[in-house]
Chains A and B, each alone.
Chain A
Amino acid sequence: MLAYLIRRLALAAVTTWAITVVTFIILQLPPGDFVDAYVAQASALGTAISAAEATALRHAYGLDQSLWVQYFKWLNLVVHGQFGQSFEYGRPVTEVIGDRLWLTILLSIGAIIVTWGLALPIGIYSAVRQYSWGDTIFTFLGFVGLAVPNFLLALIVMYVGLRLLNMNVGGLFSADYQLAAWSWAKLWDLCKHLPVPILILALAGTAQLVRIMRANLLDELRRPYVVTARARGLSERRVILKYPVRAALNPFASTIGYLLPYTVSGSVIISVVLSLPTVGPLLLHSLLSQDMLLGSTIILMLGVLTVLGTLLSDLLLMWIDPRIRLGQLR
């Protein structure tokens, strides 16, 4: 068990390091460098930046040095929790991301909880009552859900909200609280705005998870241990919930690993459509305007989030599967 844990932690560390390398390469991919983009942007806005200033900037960022030196300098910055200046906003990247990170995490966790809360019972029902009316309806809805792009769903919800219910479903705050400092009133305002985006984000992953749960459980329901549990006199409900559902949760738990980053990266378009102040739209924007330090910081964050999610699902697996805990499987 300890060996498993250490192996996973070591792997997570190595993966995180690999992500910094990849992020750095992405950083260098566009033609020119940060300063070129910065100068071009500035001149487009009418402010000229002198060659001396540009050289000074290049020197400040170490852009006149070799790639290796640049990488380690950048790594040094990242390790110390500094991600540099955002060119577009003229403020430190950490400050630009600021609250958005917590709002993103809040939305993601909310979406994951709702996804599980919907997908688990529907998946169990669909498997136990395979080919029943209910299963057919959920299967149909599931395939519609898989086929319809989520931003379309977001648009429909907005339209319905605006036209029929006369409410504005966009954003996470009312206009009054948009720029206000945090207070109880602002928190309550946030709570009122959360359900709709959380539901739309959650529905994105639900259809898929229902299919996974249904398939897993159908496999397990045919196993001999289900028959023996039934033969011992347990009620049908207890047989199913205690034995096959438990076994079917196993592959389900590993989906957490990709759900976490998916709710961030997969929700970029939804967030733009619903004008949610999350990290997603910021990433899109930074890539469009070549604000590379901001973009790479977000990509690095997504990478770390994936690693964390995977680690979390590994721990979860260890907790629910004694075969892993006792070192029978790896």
Chain B
Amino acid sequence: MADPILQVRDLHTHFFADEGVVRAVDGVSFDLFPGRTLGIVGESGCGKSVTARSILRIVERPGRIVSGEILLRRQTGAVVDVARLPVDGPEVRAIRGGDIGLVFQEPMSALSAFHTIGNQLIEAVRLHARLNRKRARERAIELLAMAGIPRPADRIDAYSFELSGGLRQRVMIALALAGEPRVLIADEPTTALDVTTQAQILTLMRRLQQQRDLAVILITHDMGVIAEMADDVVVMYLGKEVEKGPVDAIFHAPRHPYTRSLLRSIPSVLARPRSRLATLSGSIPHPFARPGGCPFHPRCPDKLTGLCDTTVPAEVVIGEDHATACHLYTTQDAKVPA
């Protein structure tokens, strides 16, 4: 395998509110490779989006990166630690859009209603390449065509509210790729779309990934999307990674009770009719009332009383590239569920 293009090492991003500190991202590490897709999965509020924003250094106040490294291999070959760069400096701005592109969940509100899509697209093109207006416009039309938008030369002067949801998301993808980045972060890219459009957008993303050898971080709560798209998976819970590994290992030999619960809650066409869909009991704790020990223990079906509620579990290597943070695999006498 090629060298990783992005390495995140023990990232901590905290929000300092008056009521206390929210540890939105609390020790996340992963490697991202060109041409491969890393899925980050978890319930809402588990720190997936903050991880993405930390990588781009667009975490909003009162949040900030407390510790950790974000090592990015830039187009020039130099490796920089994005976490150490000044927040609105020229280097970070060149990385945003130029090395790393971002696609957002809500294509309606993520585009300005006051500017034509051409205006926003040409701006993005010219920000990362020295082109005159005419050339930049041609380039923008190419990008729209590449994103599968019919009649791109007409659509470039349209406003976002004149397009359908699927087309808007295609515009978002064209915008994210305007600076020729080699990393694409897609934060819930299909959540706001209907199922048919969802499939089309995922197909488009895969095609673009192959064409450009893109490294993709796909953030979603949808295990179905992960199964279809991801090569590697990180499962997050309350800012911590609880399990990570290749997609086959995660789906066929899940270790962490949280991963198992997530997988059980996928509806299946093979399920016995009229049977209840398994759900994960309880809800995510309030960020200020974080449980001690393993953060998942209050909802865990297999918890070891006296251990899980007192000690934070360390990460245990299970197999090749497969690791989980769970006491069930560290204690000798623990009964490991099959």
Q: Is B109 touching A223 in the complex (CB atoms < 8 A)?
A: yes
Chain B residues, CB < 8 A from A233: 93-98, 124, 127-128, 179
Q: Does B113 contact A (CB under 8 A)?
A: yes
Tell which of A223, A230, A242, A322 touches B58, judged by Cβ atoms closer than 8 Å: A230
Contact of B110 among A224, A236, A323, A326 (CB under 8 A): A224
User: For window 218-254 of chain A, which residues contact chain B by CB distance below 8 Å?
Assistant: 223-225, 227-236, 242-243, 246-247
A321 close to chain B: CB less than 8 A? yes
Question: What chain A residues lie within 8 Å of B124 (beta carbons)?
Answer: 232-233
Q: Which residue of A lies closest to B61 (CB)?
A: A130
Question: In the complex the two chains form, what is the Cα distance from A227 to B101 in whole Å?
Answer: 12
CB 8 Å contact bits of B78-97 with A (1 = contact, 0 = none): 00000000001000011111
Beyond A236-B88, A320-B114, whether A228 also contacts B96 by CB under 8 A is: no
Residues of A within 8 A of B159 (CB): 322-323, 326
Q: B97's contact among A232, A243, A320, A323, by CB below 8 Å, is which?
A: A232
Distance between A129 CB and nearest chain B CB, rounded to angstroms: 11
Residue of A whose beta carbon sits closest to that of B53: A227
A240 CB to nearest B CB, Å:
11
A66 interface residue per 8 A CB criterion = no
Closest to A234 in B: B127
**For chain A residues 264-306, which have a beta carbon within 8 Å of chain B?**
none
User: How far in angstroms is the closest Cβ of chain B from A42?
Assistant: 62
In the complex, residue of chain A having the shortest beta-carbon distance to the beta carbon of B88: A236
Among B56, B109, B114, B175, contact of A322 (Cβ-Cβ < 8 Å): B114
List A contacts of B161 (CB < 8 A). Answer: 323, 328
As a 0/1 sequence over residues 110 to 133 of chain B, the CB contacts with chain A under 8 angstroms (1 = contact) are: 111111100010011001100000
Chain A residues with CB under 8 A of B97: 231-233
A172 to B188, CA, bound (A): 63
Whether the Cβ atoms of B93 and A235 lie closer than 8 Å is yes
Q: How far is the CB of B85 from chain A (nearest CB, A)?
A: 13
- B166 shortest CB reach to chain A, Å: 18
B310 shortest CB reach to chain A, Å: 39
Q: Is the pair A234, B112 in contact by a Cβ cutoff of 8 Å?
A: no
Instruction: Among B94, B113, B124, B178, find the residue whose CB has the most chain A CB atoms closer than 10 A.
Output: B113
Task: Kindly supply a per-residue 1/0 record for chain B positions 56-68, scoring 1 wherever the CB is within 8 Å of any chain A CB and 0 otherwise.
Answer: 1010000000000
- The reply to whether the CB of B172 lies closer than 8 angstroms to some CB of chain A is yes
Enumerate chain A residues within 8 angstroms of B214, measured Cβ to Cβ: none
- Cα–Cα distance between A236 and B87 once the two chains are bound (Å): 10
Q: Is the CB of B114 within 8 A of A326?
A: no
The one of B94, B95, B162 in contact with A326, judged by C-beta atoms closer than 8 angstroms, is: B162
A-side contacts of B111, CB under 8 Å? 225, 228
Say whether B102 faces chain A, with CB atoms less than 8 Å apart: yes
Give the docked Cα–Cα distance between A200 and B93 (Å): 44
Specify which chain A residues have a CB less than 8 angstroms from the CB of B109 in the assembled complex.
223-225
Does B106 touch A at the CB level, under 8 Å? yes
Assess whether B104 is interfacial by the CB under 8 Å rule. Answer: yes
Which residue of B is nearest A223, CB measured? B109
For window 155-190 of B, CB contacts with A under 8 Å fall at 159, 161-162, 172, 175-176, 178-179
B98 and A247 form a contact (CB under 8 A): no
Measured CB to CB, the closest approach of chain B to A131, in angstroms, equals: 10
Q: Which of B106, B114, B115 has the most CB of A within 10 A?
A: B114
**In whole angstroms, what is the CA distance A284 to B123 when docked?**
55
* Cβ-defined contact, B113 with A231, below 8 A: no
CA distance A243 to B96 in the complex (A): 17
Task: Find the residue from A225, A228, A235 having the highest chain B CB count within 10 A.
Answer: A228
Complex formed: what's the CA distance from A223 to B113 in Å?
12
Q: How far in angstroms is the closest Cβ of chain A from B118?
A: 13
Report B-chain residues with C-beta under 8 Å of the C-beta of A321. Answer: 114
From A224, A246, A322, A326, give the contact of B104 (CB < 8 A).
A224
Instruction: Report the Cα distance A232→B98, complex, angstroms.
Output: 8
User: Contact check: which of A232, A236, A243, A247 meets B179 at CB < 8 Å?
Assistant: A232
B113/A322 in contact, CB under 8 A: yes
In angstroms, Cα B128 to Cα A224, docked, is 22
**A224/B106 contact (C-beta < 8 A), A232-B179, A235-B93, A326-B159 known:** yes
Expressed in whole angstroms, the minimum distance between the Cβ of A167 and any Cβ of chain B is: 46
Contact, CB under 8 Å: B113 / A323:
yes
- Considering only CB atoms, which chain B residue lies closest to A247 in the complex? B114
CA distance A224 to B106 in the complex (A): 8
What's the Cα separation between A230 and B105 when bound, in Å?
16
Q: How far is the CB of A32 from chain B (nearest CB, A)?
A: 57
Interface centre among A224, A225, A234 (most CB of B within 10 A): A225
Chain B residue contacts of A323, Cβ below 8 A:
113, 159, 161
Contacts of A225 in B (CB 8 A): 109-112
Give the interface centre of A229, A233, A236 by most chain B CB atoms within 10 Å: A233
CB distance from B92 to the nearest CB of A (A): 8
Question: Which residue in chain A gives the minimum CB-CB distance to B175?
Answer: A232
What separation, in Å, do the CA atoms of A321 and B178 have in the docked complex? Answer: 26
Q: For residue B119, which residue of chain A has the nearest CB?
A: A242
Interchain CB contact under 8 A, A232 and B178: yes
> Which residues does chain A contribute within 8 Å of B102, judged by CB atoms?
228, 231-232
Query: A243 contacts which chain B residues (CB < 8 A)?
Result: 112, 114-115
Q: How far is the CA of A235 from the CA of B89 in the complex (A)?
A: 8
A322→B113 CA distance, assembly (Å)? 8
Binding site for A on B (CB under 8 A): 53, 56, 58, 88, 93-98, 101-102, 104-106, 109-116, 120, 123-124, 127-128, 159, 161-162, 172, 175-176, 178-179
With A231-B101, A242-B115, A323-B161 already in contact, 12 other A-B pairs whose C-beta atoms are closer than 8 Å: A225-B109, A225-B111, A229-B120, A232-B97, A232-B123, A233-B96, A233-B98, A233-B128, A234-B93, A246-B112, A247-B114, A322-B113
Query: Taking beta carbons and an 8 Å cutoff, which residues of A are in contact with B?
Result: 223-225, 227-236, 242-243, 246-247, 320-323, 326, 328
Listed A/B pairs (28) with beta-carbon separation below 8 Å: A224-B105, A225-B109, A225-B110, A225-B111, A228-B111, A229-B120, A230-B58, A231-B176, A232-B127, A232-B175, A232-B179, A233-B94, A233-B95, A233-B96, A233-B97, A233-B98, A233-B127, A234-B123, A235-B93, A236-B88, A242-B115, A243-B112, A246-B114, A322-B113, A322-B114, A322-B159, A326-B162, A328-B161
